[in-house]
Chain A
Amino acid sequence: MQFDQLLQYLLSGLSTGAIYALIGIGFSIIYNATGIINFAQGEFVMLGGMVTLLFLETGKLPLWAAIPCAVAVSTASGMLFERLAIRPLRQPTPINLVIITIGGSILIRGLAMLLWGKDTHAIPPFSGEEPLAVGGATILPQHLWILGVTLLIIAANKYYFYHTISGKAMRACAYNRRAAGLVGIDVRRMVLFSFIISSAMGSVAGIIVAPLTMTAYDVGIMLGLKGFCAAIIGGMSSGGATVVGGLVLGILESLGAGLISSGYKDAIAFIILLLLLFIRPQGLFGKAQSERV
């Protein structure tokens, strides 16, 4: 096999991987703040793309204006989801919450289908379709957008969690909710924040990937599961490990599709997911839990 071809697989794997990483971090943030896996995460990814389209075609907005509007709408729906479906729960056991997020995801998907139909739609690339040569491989400008935006979001995320009081409070909640309450942190507010951040990140992921892969009412299922897989590889960390998880997954998928058969592309993600859950449920980089008392 030629080096150029390998490079091509790597590059495209890297950009899909970046998308998985963004979605995966969304999973991790909510998981860390609330202890639940938000299976509706993928729907916010779908909403990102579809609402952008709505503003472009029905709203006749230019792309640069449609995108922030779409992020705002998707984030608002994430907020609404927390307020209407998660917060009112009397007995928020993990299993109840997980089932609610699955129900929520089915509802959102159903509404999207009623609204937009079952067709696949395309969002125009942000800056043209002229391929760029990298070594012997080529990439589209949209790939660069994906990598750039992902880097930016990860950096912003890092800043939020390590350098702002609100981010530190969220980490404190993730570690010990009761102690967080005792220092005056309103835990429910932090849960809401986690939904806001995650749905915003998910929708951005959905928007930047849409010009490459097209979008439809049901893209959230697969993207959500792939993001979940990235988060599992990363041991549900909301930082670097999940990013690496996403990239590893993206690259393996792309290599598998290229070298074995593109029919197995999705299977690869789930084989990795199952293997990890069996063998290393703490994630690829996680240590078995131990701490000083």
Chain B
Amino acid sequence: MLRLKKVNTYYGKVHALKNVTLLLAEGEIVTLIGANGAGKTTILNTISAVTPASSGEVLFNDSQISALAPDRIVKLGISQVPEGRQVFKPLSVEDNLDLGAYLRYRNGESKASIHTDMDQVFSLFPRLQERRKQLAGTMSGGEQQMLAIGRALMAKPKLLLLDEPSMGLAPLIVQEIFRVLNQLRREQGTTILLVEQNARAALKLADRGYVLETGKIILEGTSAQLMENADVKRAYLGKDKG
């Protein structure tokens, strides 16, 4: 479904991604793990065309998407839940969700059908329904994360990119969010690319994973393989001491 081929991306003069090649099949959950600054977020932003690749290919369903503008990427069915949530704080929960469906409104889709999907988001995250008229900025971090995911889902993405959804959240909330991600894949077949610091939780959820270090992919494999890998254990799971 998504394929990155020898992608290089620069932030100014910083060579942030070096020959990154990765693959996502339809219906998979794949996770990217790595330390801060390894380039995980850059991969998502390269796919979303926020920081476009300077060389290499980004292919979505076999067509090249690396030269498109961010809004075109969303139109194709790739939505990103950005790092730090970035909900529209001065707007209400409902308005945030409506904006998630911005392109569908622009396409002339009816409010009724969009609001059916909004109800679906509310059934995934009942707390959002309770707060639908509330301003997004007045909610807790966990609720804002739910809103950010809900907003991305309103575009009906085929591929969901998630950047550190567990950052700064209480373990119970993280569990709830990961439960929803699992449910999304099971019930709607959404393909998910998950960037996580919490490698253990991410590998538990994901089918496969890639390990990134200073802009390069140094390891890939199924989640089970990675969980057993000694380097991964030592560096990211914090278990191996012997």
Interface residues of chain A, those whose CB is within 8 Å of chain B, are 165, 168-169, 171-172, 175-176, 178-187, 291-293
Give 7 nearest A-B pairs by CB, closest first. Answer: A184-B74, A179-B86, A181-B70, A184-B103, A165-B105, A184-B71, A172-B88
State the Cβ distance, B49 to closest chain A Cβ, in Å: 9
CA distance A183 to B87 in the complex (A): 10
**Which single residue of chain B is at the shortest CB-CB distance from A167?**
B95
List the B side residues contacting A292 at CB < 8 Å: 137-140
In contact, B89 and A186 (Cβ under 8 angstroms): no
In contact, A182 and B88 (Cβ under 8 angstroms): no
**Which single residue of chain B is at the shortest CB-CB distance from A189?**
B71
List the B side residues contacting A182 at CB < 8 Å: 48, 50, 70, 74, 79-80, 82, 86
Q: For window 94-146 of chain B, which residues contact chain A by CB distance below 8 Å? A: 95, 98-100, 102-103, 105-106, 137-141
Q: Which of A169, A178, A182, A187 lies at the interface centre, i.e. has the most chain B CB atoms within 10 A of its CB?
A: A182
List the B side residues contacting A187 at CB < 8 Å: 71
CA distance A55 to B50 in the complex (A): 46
State the Cβ distance, A158 to closest chain B Cβ, in Å: 14
Q: Which of the residues A175, A178, A184 comes within 8 Å of B89, measured between beta carbons?
A: A175
In contact, B99 and A168 (Cβ under 8 angstroms): yes
State the Cβ distance, A292 to closest chain B Cβ, in Å: 6
In contact, B138 and A175 (Cβ under 8 angstroms): no
CA distance A291 to B141 in the complex (A): 12
22 residue pairs A–B, Cβ–Cβ below 8 Å: A165-B102, A168-B98, A171-B88, A171-B90, A171-B91, A175-B88, A175-B89, A175-B90, A175-B91, A178-B50, A179-B87, A180-B88, A180-B99, A181-B50, A182-B50, A182-B82, A184-B70, A184-B103, A185-B102, A187-B71, A291-B137, A292-B137
Q: Which of the residues A165, A179, A291 comes within 8 Å of B88, measured between beta carbons?
A: A179
In contact, A178 and B141 (Cβ under 8 angstroms): no
In contact, B91 and A172 (Cβ under 8 angstroms): yes
B155 interface contact, C-beta 8 A: yes
B75 interface contact, C-beta 8 A: yes
CA distance A168 to B137 in the complex (A): 16
In contact, A183 and B95 (Cβ under 8 angstroms): no
In contact, A183 and B69 (Cβ under 8 angstroms): no
List the B side residues contacting A169 at CB < 8 Å: 99, 102
**Which single residue of chain A is at the shortest CB-CB distance from B139?**
A292
Q: Which of A165, A178, A183, A291 lies at the interface centre, i.e. has the most chain B CB atoms within 10 A of its CB?
A: A183
In contact, B82 and A179 (Cβ under 8 angstroms): yes
B208 interface contact, C-beta 8 A: no
CA distance A175 to B89 in the complex (A): 8
In contact, A172 and B99 (Cβ under 8 angstroms): yes
B151 interface contact, C-beta 8 A: yes
State the Cβ distance, B103 to closest chain A Cβ, in Å: 4
**Which single residue of chain A is at the shortest CB-CB distance from B141?**
A293
In contact, B88 and A185 (Cβ under 8 angstroms): no
List the A side residues contacting B86 at CB < 8 Å: 176, 178-179, 182
State the Cβ distance, B47 to closest chain A Cβ, in Å: 11
In contact, A186 and B71 (Cβ under 8 angstroms): yes
In contact, B99 and A185 (Cβ under 8 angstroms): yes
Q: Which of the residues B71, B89, B141, B155 comes within 8 Å of A181, measured between beta carbons?
A: B71
State the Cβ distance, B79 to closest chain A Cβ, in Å: 7
